[in-house]
Structure 1
């Protein structure tokens, strides 16, 4: 399976860290968000991925409808597909950080989640987690 590389995002299987690593690059519209998430699901199933790192540092907020899509589609599907641990790198600005953390507030799950300000720290934490 090939990595998903577009001007607005990369989604790669990081075999060394045994995780899905997604990095958003600036603004993303709703259709682009849905497109990359659909590919994430395929990658998770194909590689039987249990951990993911989602770097949202370069986007300040999800597009209109994006927060709901994350809560109603992304979380239920990645959990169903076997995801156990997720690290999120959030923007520096307070509004963006709060927006991302609100979108990731999914209490119906046993998915271990943690938010970070630094991608290297997030990856190190992710690698340290046993599945």
Structure 2
């Protein structure tokens, strides 16, 4: 939660641990991205899960300022904890989409990443692998 009380992300696990779902909301800062990323790593440490549905459907604006931290710090830790697949639901806005495409260039050879325009398609892919 942001200092003003706004929720910037939620993380949930499917009941059968088939995948984790991270939903990012609103405008992100370096702090919110790091805090949300650290929560994911804590959850993975407690009970590893190889699949992540990472949804940006409600994300607003760019977040490419965090790409170095995500690719150099967060992604290697997530992989070490067992993440192998990421279903990425793209943001509706061009700036969020561009931020992810830049990140994808950095992490695309580290794990299997597929891009989607909605959560239903992302879920179907995760359940098929």
TM-score band, normalised by shorter chain: 0.7 to 0.9
What TM-score, normalized by structure 2, do the two folds share? 0.84
Residue aligning to 1:117: 117
Residue aligning to 1:61: 62
What TM-score, normalized by structure 1, do the two folds share? 0.83
What 5-or-longer segments of structure 2 have no aligned partner? 1-5
Q: How far apart are the structure 2 equivalents of 1:97 and 1:9? A: 17
Deviation at 1:107, TM superposition (A): 4.4
Bigger mean CA deviation after superposition, 90-99 or 21-30: 90-99
Residue aligning to 1:29: 29
List aligned pairs for 1:15-26, cutoff 5 A: 15-16=15-16, 18-26=18-26
What 5-or-longer segments of structure 1 have no aligned partner? 1-5
Q: How far apart are the structure 2 equivalents of 1:92 and 1:7? A: 19
Cα deviation 1:9-55 (Å, max 9, x = unaligned): 10111224611100011112111111111110011121111100100
Residue aligning to 2:3: none
**Other structure's SS at 2:27 match:** coil
Q: How far apart are the structure 2 equivalents of 1:7 and 1:14? A: 20
Cα deviation 1:38-90 (Å, max 9, x = unaligned): 11001112111110010012223216x31111111121111111111111111
**Other structure's SS at 1:87 match:** strand
Residue aligning to 2:80: 80
Structure 1 residue runs of 4+, over 3 Å off?
none
| Structure richer in helix, relative to its length | 2
Q: How far apart are the structure 2 equivalents of 1:104 and 1:126? A: 18
